[in-house]
């Protein structure tokens, strides 16, 4: 097992640093994912809650009641500053979709001929901003009606009226959430796996192909098949470690969201994708020179991730990209994760489509591995 040991020594010496860097970046981005929200498993309708900020410059009852109503029915956001540029920046970045400015003296002049208007900053024509605008006007029109109809605004009645909700009938195929944060984060694991496995495997295999090392191995009594198997074993062990780290991370961070129904399938899908990454790496290493490892591993991992639904959910990719994506193994990995996330305690049946995705991934792995053997054979014959 000298070649195998040499493989691991080379990995620790030259590829561990970059691999750790990818891992740290992955952990950081995943923590950003986690902080961005949680998944929904509710079976009843959940109204969309737009990110909204309210700047209340008035201390009247109508202003404070409006502020409370809006904060209760949206996702309230506090801005670090409410100057014009800060509000504009927050709207542009979609940190907040709707900023309501209640001017000083609004309450005094409410429902009079001299009424002040509420200032609104929002993303033009955005449906979410229109939703909040509808809420704001609904509250104020209700208050105005009471003032005009009874001479005073009884906010208890306003609140009581506005608490009336229509009955929602859910259709049989109701879907509460198409993309949970957990599913996205597990799907995102494909990128560090591709990047690490590609870089590490290519780097070590190309080092082993150095003329001096190759000659030294060739003059040893080890058979060529045995040497190849030890190299592949080394690459597999490194990939297995990457897989194990990912699984530990998955359990440590997403244990609440991964149920006993989904866990085995997430692991299976991840493991198969590690095999795919390994086969791509072995194939790329067959061509390799040191100067092209970083460029090629970056381009392959980024292209697979961008165009395969790893960075951007499949639902958001255009039709033309999706048509090309079928020849991208990352697409099948992401698609399989989407199917797995739909397996729940109430619907534990495993769709056959999931196995189709996994088999397609395996076929990709076999195809790349076969091509790498062909490349090696051609190189040897030369």
Partner 1 sequence: MFIHLFKYRVKCMVADFGGMFWLLFFPLCLSLFFYMGLGNISESKIAAIDAAVIGENEEFLSAAKESGLFNFVDADEDNAKKMLSSEEVKAVFILGDEIKIMLSSNGIYQSISKLFLDTYLQRSETVVNIVSENPAVLSDGFIDELSDMHTHTEEMPNSPNMNFLVVYYYGLIAMAVIMGGSLSLENVSFIQANQSNVACRFNMAPVNKIYAFAAMSSASLMFHFASNLLLIGVLKFVFGVDFTDKIGLVILTVFVGCFSGLMFGALVGSLIKKGEGIKQGIIIAITMLGAFLSGMMSSDIKYYVTAYAPWLKYLLMPELVSDSLYVLYYYETLDKYFLNMGILLAMGIVCFAVTLIILSRQKYKSL
Judged by CB under 8 A, the chain residues 92 through 151 that form the site for partner 1 are: 92-95, 100-101, 115, 117-128, 130-131, 133-138, 140-142, 144-146, 148-151
The sheet with strand 75-76 has its strands ordered as: 75-76, 51-56, 98-102
| Residue that the structure tokens 């991208």 belong to | 328
C-alpha to C-alpha distance for 254 and 203, rounded to whole angstroms? 32
Among 70, 200, 317, 358, binds partner 1 (CB under 8 A): 317
Cβ proximity to partner 1, 292 vs 367, nearer residue: 292
The answer to whether 120 and 103 have CB atoms below 8 angstroms apart is no
Residues 11-40 that bind partner 1 (CB under 8 A): 29, 32, 40
What letter would DSSP give residue 314? G
Taking the complex as a whole, how short is the minimal distance between the CB of residue 187 and partner 1, in angstroms?
A: 14
C-alpha to C-alpha distance for 288 and 291, rounded to whole angstroms? 8
Among 112, 113, 114, 168, binds partner 1 (CB under 8 A): 168
Taking the complex as a whole, how short is the minimal distance between the CB of residue 293 and partner 1, in angstroms?
A: 11
Cβ proximity to partner 1, 137 vs 218, nearer residue: 137
What distance lies between CA 169 and its chain's CA centroid?
31
The answer to whether 280 and 300 have CB atoms below 8 angstroms apart is yes
306 in contact with partner 1 (CB under 8 A): yes
C-alpha to C-alpha distance for 116 and 132, rounded to whole angstroms? 19
Taking the complex as a whole, how short is the minimal distance between the CB of residue 79 and partner 1, in angstroms?
A: 7
Cβ proximity to partner 1, 130 vs 229, nearer residue: 130
- 104 is written with which tokens? 């000083």
The answer to whether 139 and 158 have CB atoms below 8 angstroms apart is yes
Taking the complex as a whole, how short is the minimal distance between the CB of residue 374 and partner 1, in angstroms?
A: 25
Question: Residues 222-261: x/- map of binding to partner 1 (CB under 8 A)?
Answer: ----------------------------------------
Cβ proximity to partner 1, 40 vs 226, nearer residue: 40
Ramachandran region, residue 46 (left: φ > 0; alpha: ψ -120 to 50; beta: rest): beta
Helix (H, G, I), strand (E, B) or coil at 51: strand
326 in contact with partner 1 (CB under 8 A): no
Cβ proximity to partner 1, 173 vs 352, nearer residue: 173
171 in contact with partner 1 (CB under 8 A): yes
Count other Cβ atoms within 10 Å, centred on residue 219. 8
Taking the complex as a whole, how short is the minimal distance between the CB of residue 116 and partner 1, in angstroms?
A: 9
Ramachandran region, residue 50 (left: φ > 0; alpha: ψ -120 to 50; beta: rest): beta
Cβ proximity to partner 1, 136 vs 193, nearer residue: 136
Q: How many residues bind partner 1 (CB under 8 A)?
A: 86
Cβ proximity to partner 1, 193 vs 227, nearer residue: 193
Cβ proximity to partner 1, 193 vs 239, nearer residue: 193
Residues 55-94 that bind partner 1 (CB under 8 A): 79-81, 85-86, 88-94
Ramachandran region, residue 125 (left: φ > 0; alpha: ψ -120 to 50; beta: rest): left
Residues 177-206 that bind partner 1 (CB under 8 A): 177-178
User: Which residues are registered as beta bridge partners of 99?
Assistant: 53, 121
- 335 is written with which tokens? 């698609």
Which residues are CB-neighbours of 7 under 8 A, at least 6 positions away?
A: 204, 208, 230, 231, 233, 234, 235, 238
Taking the complex as a whole, how short is the minimal distance between the CB of residue 101 and partner 1, in angstroms?
A: 7
Give the binding range for partner 1 (CB under 8 A) out of 175-183, 197-205, 244-252, 270-278. Answer: 175-183
Taking the complex as a whole, how short is the minimal distance between the CB of residue 215 and partner 1, in angstroms?
A: 27
Helix (H, G, I), strand (E, B) or coil at 100: strand
Residues 350-369 that bind partner 1 (CB under 8 A): none
């Amino acid at each position: 097992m000298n070649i195998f040991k040499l493989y691991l020594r080379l990995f620790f010496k030259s590829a561990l640093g970059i691999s750790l860097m990818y891992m740290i970046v992955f952990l950081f981005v995943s923590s950003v994912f986690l902080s961005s929200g949680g998944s929904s498993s509710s079976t009843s309708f959940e109204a969309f809650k737009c990110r909204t900020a309210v700047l209340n410059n008035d201390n009247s009852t109508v202003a404070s009641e409006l502020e409370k109503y809006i904060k209760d029915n949206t996702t309230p956001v506090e801005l670090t500053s409410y100057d014009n540029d800060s509000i504009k920046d927050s709207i542009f970045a979609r940190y907040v979709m709707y900023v309501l400015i209640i001017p000083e003296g609004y309450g005094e002049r409410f429902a009079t001929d001299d009424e002040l208007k509420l200032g609104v900053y929002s993303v033009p024509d955005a449906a979410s901003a229109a939703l909040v605008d509808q809420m704001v006007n609904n509250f104020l029109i209700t208050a105005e009606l009471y003032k005009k109809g009874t001479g005073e605004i009884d906010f208890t009645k306003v609140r009581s009226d506005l608490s009336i909700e229509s009955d929602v009938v859910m259709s049989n195929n109701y879907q509460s959430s198409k993309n949970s944060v957990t599913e996205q984060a597990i799907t995102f694991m494909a990128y560090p796996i591709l990047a690490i496995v590609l870089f590490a495997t290519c780097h070590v295999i190309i080092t082993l192909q150095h003329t001096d090392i190759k000659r030294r191995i060739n003059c040893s009594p080890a058979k060529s098949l045995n040497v190849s198997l030890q190299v592949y074993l080394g690459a597999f062990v490194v990939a297995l470690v990457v897989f194990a780290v990912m699984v530990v991370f998955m359990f440590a961070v997403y244990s609440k969201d991964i149920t006993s129904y989904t866990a085995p399938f997430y692991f299976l899908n991840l493991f198969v994708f590690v095999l795919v990454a390994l086969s791509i790496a072995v194939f790329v290493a067959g061509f390799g020179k040191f100067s092209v490892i970083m460029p090629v591993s970056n381009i392959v991992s980024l292209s697979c991730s961008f165009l395969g639904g790893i960075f951007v959910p499949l639902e958001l990719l255009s039709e033309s990209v999706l048509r090309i994506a079928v020849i991208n193994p990352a697409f099948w990995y992401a698609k399989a994760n989407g199917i797995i996330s739909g397996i729940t305690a109430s619907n534990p049946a495993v769709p056959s489509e999931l196995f189709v995705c996994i088999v397609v991934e395996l076929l990709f792995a076999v195809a790349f591995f076969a091509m790498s053997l062909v490349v090696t054979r051609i190189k040897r014959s030369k």
